[in-house]
Structure 1
Amino acid sequence: MKRYTYITLLVFTLIFFSCGEKQTESTEEKSDTNFIELTQEQFQKNELTLGKPEKITFSEEFEVTGMVDVPPKNRSSVTSYFDGYVSHTDLLVGDKVEKGDLLVKLKNPDFIKMQQNYVEALSNLNYLTSEFDRKKTLYEDQIIAQKVFQSTKNQYLNAKAQLAAAEEQIRLMNLNPQEIEKGNFTSELNILAPISGKISKLNVAQGKFIGKSEMIMEILDVDHIHLELDVFEKDLMKIQKGDSLRFEIPEISEESYLAYLRLIGAEINEDRKVRIHAHPSDRENKFTVGMFVNAYFDTDRKKRFALPESAFTEVDETTYILELVEQSDTTYKFKKVGVKSTAPQNGFKPILNTETINLDSKYLTKGVFDMVTITN
C-alpha cells in the first residue's frame, strides 16, 4: 500500500513541475511578442526609417456644405420694358459679353407710334412755350385777364410733362431722342448687356414674342464668385469673420482649395442653420456657379507630440508604435508600445498619452504594420 502511495506522489510531482515549466515557457513566449528584433540587412532592405516625436499643430475639424454662387449684383436677369418679336440674336449659353454689348433686337410696329408721340409732344411744347411767353407778356401788361394766362400756363406745363414722359420712354427703348427729332424712326429696339459676364440662361429664338418683364436671358459675372455655406447652430460660435477654411468640389476632384470667411448671416433658418459667405483665396476662374461644395473649418488649434501616420498600426483594436530599445552594428530591437491617438492631419497622428512613452526615444516610422502583424 505504501509502495502505491509513493508512486502516485512521484507522478503528481513530475506532472506539477512539468506544468510549471510549460507555464513559464508560455509566459516568456508571450512576453517576447512585445519585442521585435531585426537585422541590419532586414532594416535596410525594407527601407525602414526612424524618427522622434515632434510637436505638430492639430485642430478639431467640422464640415459644412453649400455651393458656388455669385452676389446678387453680379447676376443679371435681362428683360425688356416693351413687348416685341425677336428679330436678331446670335448668342449662346456660355458666350462672354461686355457691359453695353448688343444682346437681342426686338421688333414691334408700336415702337414707331411711341417715337411719333415723342415728336408730337416736342412740337406741341414748342408751340405752347411761345404761346406761354406771349401771354405772359400780355398779362404783365394787364392786357389779358389772369384766367386766360393761367389756362395757357397749365397747357404749357402739361405739354412739358408729356414731353418728359415721352423722352424717358424713348431712352428706355435705348434710342437717341436727337435722332428721333430728325425723323429717323425705327421699328426695332436694342437690348443691351447691363453687366459684363457669361450667358448662363437663354430664352430667345428668332421670331419669338417676348412680353415685357419676361426674362430674355441671364448673365453671370463669374469674376466675383463666392461660396454660400450653411453652418449648424451648434457650430456657429466656433467661427468668426476672417477665419480660413478649405473646401472641395467632390463631384469633379479630390483637390482642396483655400478660402476665408467674409460674412456671417444674421438669422437661423428653420433647419437650425446660418448662411455664411466665403471667398476663395485663389481668384482664378476654376469654378462654375452651382457647383456643390464640402467645406472644412479648423478650430481649437493645439500643439501635440506626433509621429508620421505610417508609424502607427492597429492590432486587436489597440494602436501601437514601435520604440527602438536597443541598437547594435548588426541588429535593431523594438518594443511594442500601446498609445492613444486620433485621426491623422497633414500626414501626422498625435500621441495623446505622452506620459506613457519616452519622448527622447526613436520610433519606427515606416513598415510598422508589417513588423507588428508578423509577430502576432
Structure 2
Amino acid sequence: MKIHFYISILLLVLLFTNACQEKKPEKSSVKKQFFTEKSTPKTEEALSPDEEEITDDAIFTVSQAKFDEYGMKLGTASMQDVDESITAAGYIEVPNENKAEVRSYIGGYLQTTPLLPGDYVNKGQVIISLSNLEYIQLQQEYLQAKEELVYLKEVYERKKTLAEENITSINSRQQAESEYNIMKTNVEGLRKKLQLINIDPNKVNAENISSSINLYAPISGYITKVNAVKGKFAEPTDVIFEIINTDHLHLELKVYEKDILKVKKGQKIAFRIPEADSENYSGEVFLVGKTIDDADRTVSVHCHITKENKIPMVIGMYIEADIFVASHENFCVPVEALIREESRYYAFMNTSTGDDGYTFKKIHVEVGEINEDCIEITGKSRQQLEGKELLVEGAFNL
C-alpha cells in the first residue's frame, strides 16, 4: 500500500512540473479601428487624442436636391473686424429711486386690500386703509389748538394795542405774544402730522373726524411684497407693501480685478439670460465701480439695457455678459460655417462639385474670438482654409 501511495505522489509532482514549463502565450497587440462615412473599417496604430481628432477627417456627399432642400450655401473665409471681449456675470436690477416701501407714520390696524404680488398700481392710488384711535385723538388736538390759537391771537392783538397806548405793561404784551407764537407752532406741527398720515387738515372739522386713514402708492409699478393681513396692527417700522417700477431696468455686473482696467464707459455689451433663453441682448457700460469687493475680488459695473430690447425681464434674474473692450481685423468665417463637438470646432470643406452634388471634408479648425456673426480662425487652420470653398450655411444638417 505504501508503494502505491508514493507512486501516486510522484506522478502528481511530475505533472505539476510539466505544466509550469509550458510556454505562456504572447499578449496580442490591439489595433484601433475607426470609420469614415464613406470608407470601410481600416486598422491603424492607436493615435493620441489630439492627433485622432485632427487627422480623422470624415467625407460627406450631398446631392443637389438635398443641398437645395436644406438651404445650404457655399462661401469662403474673409478678413473681418473681430471684437475682443471679457466675460462677466451679474443680475438685472432697477435704480433705488424706482423702488418704494409703503409704511404708516403712525401705526394702525390693517383693513382688507385686494392687491397681490404682481399687481400693477399707479402713483397716488389707494392701496390699503388703516384705523386707530390715535387718528381721532390727533384730529381733536388739532381742532382744539386751532380754536385756542384764535383766542390767543385776539388776546395778543388787544394787549399790543394797549401797550402802544401805555395802558398795559410791555411784559404783559410780551407774555401774550409768546403764548400766541407757541400755539401757532403747535398748530402747524399738528397740521404736518395730519398730512403725513394722509389727512387733509383743511377738511378736518367737528363734523368730519375720521377714525381711518388711506395709504397711497408713492410710485407707479408692480407690487412685489404684500404684508397686509386684515386686523393686524402695523407698526411704523413695518413694511406693508413693496413696489418696483421696471421702466428703467439695468444690469449690475461683477468684473474680476484682472480685467477691470480694460472696461470703460460707453463700451458695448451682449448679455443673455441662461435660465430663460439662449438669445443675446444688447447694452452699454454706464458706470465702472471704484472699489474692489474683498470677498471675490470683483468690481461692480453698471450697464444700461438698449431700449430696443423688448423682452420680459424679472428683477434679480441671473445674466451672463460679454463686454467688448477692443476690436481688430482677422481671418473669420460665419458662425453658421462651424459646428461644435464637445470642445472642438469643425468646418466642412468642399472638395468636389459635380452633377450629382457636392463632396465635403470635415476638418478640425482652431478658433479665437467668437462674435455674434463670425468666428476668428487661428493657427494652422488659417492657412488650411484660406481660399478654400466652405459650407457656410446648413452645416448642422451634416
Q: TM-score, normalised by structure 1?
A: 0.77
2:312 match: 286
Residue 149 of structure 2 is aligned to residue 121 of structure 1: no
Separation of aligned partners in 2, 1:96 and 1:331: 60
1:26 match: none
**Change over 3 Å in CA distance of 1:171–1:332 after alignment to 2:** closer
Separation of aligned partners in 2, 1:333 and 1:187: 87
Contact 1:264-1:275 within 8 A present in 2 as well:
yes
Find 1:254's aligned residue among 265, 274, 278: 278
Separation of aligned partners in 1, 2:243 and 2:213: 20
Contact 1:78-1:218 within 8 A present in 2 as well:
yes
Deviates more, 1:265-274 or 1:193-202: 265-274
Residue 160 of structure 2 is aligned to residue 140 of structure 1: no
Separation of aligned partners in 1, 2:82 and 2:287: 26
C-alpha RMSD of matched pairs (Å): 3.6
Find 1:351's aligned residue among 358, 361, 377: 377
Q: For residues 72-87 of structure 1, what are the structure 2 equivalents within 5 Å?
A: 72-87=96-111
1:55 match: 79
Contact 1:337-1:357 within 8 A present in 2 as well:
no
For residues 266-300 of structure 1, the C-alpha deviation after alignment (integer angstroms, 9 at most, x for no partner) is 22221221112212213636111111111111233
Find 2:299's aligned residue among 265, 271, 274: 274
Q: CA deviation at 1:256?
A: 1.7
Contact 2:64-2:356 within 8 A present in 1 as well:
no
Contact 1:222-1:285 within 8 A present in 2 as well:
no
For residues 207-231 of structure 1, the C-alpha deviation after alignment (integer angstroms, 9 at most, x for no partner) is 1110112111100111122111111
Separation of aligned partners in 1, 2:225 and 2:212: 23
Find 2:225's aligned residue among 192, 201, 211: 201
Q: For residues 287-306 of structure 1, what are the structure 2 equivalents within 5 Å?
A: 287-306=313-332
Q: CA deviation at 1:341?
A: 3.2
Separation of aligned partners in 1, 2:151 and 2:73: 100
In structure 2, list runs of 5 or more residues that go unmatched: 1-54
Greater share of helix residues, 1 or 2?
1
Amino acid at match of 2:102: V
Separation of aligned partners in 1, 2:190 and 2:153: 17
Separation of aligned partners in 2, 1:331 and 1:179: 89
1:212 match: 236
Q: CA deviation at 1:240?
A: 1.3
Deviates more, 1:299-308 or 1:231-240: 299-308
**Change over 3 Å in CA distance of 1:214–1:285 after alignment to 2:** farther
Separation of aligned partners in 2, 1:148 and 1:193: 50
For residues 135-155 of structure 1, the C-alpha deviation after alignment (integer angstroms, 9 at most, x for no partner) is 001111111111111111111
In structure 1, list runs of 5 or more residues that go unmatched: 1-33, 372-376
Q: TM-score, normalised by structure 2?
A: 0.73
Deviates more, 1:300-309 or 1:250-259: 300-309
Separation of aligned partners in 2, 1:107 and 1:191: 11
Find 1:157's aligned residue among 181, 188, 192: 181
Secondary structure of 1:88's match?
coil
**Change over 3 Å in CA distance of 1:285–1:171 after alignment to 2:** farther
Deviates more, 1:287-296 or 1:305-314: 305-314
**Change over 3 Å in CA distance of 1:127–1:64 after alignment to 2:** same
For residues 87-119 of structure 1, the C-alpha deviation after alignment (integer angstroms, 9 at most, x for no partner) is 232211111111111111110112111100000
2:129 match: 105
How many residues in Structure 1 have an aligned counterpart in Structure 2?
A: 337
Q: CA deviation at 1:350?
A: 2.7
Q: CA deviation at 1:86?
A: 0.9
Secondary structure of 1:100's match?
coil
For residues 44-85 of structure 1, the C-alpha deviation after alignment (integer angstroms, 9 at most, x for no partner) is 466376433212222233221111111111100110100110
Secondary structure of 1:181's match?
coil
Secondary structure of 1:63's match?
strand
Secondary structure of 1:223's match?
coil
Deviates more, 1:350-359 or 1:160-169: 350-359
Q: CA deviation at 1:310?
A: 6.5
Separation of aligned partners in 1, 2:310 and 2:355: 55
Secondary structure of 2:237's match?
coil
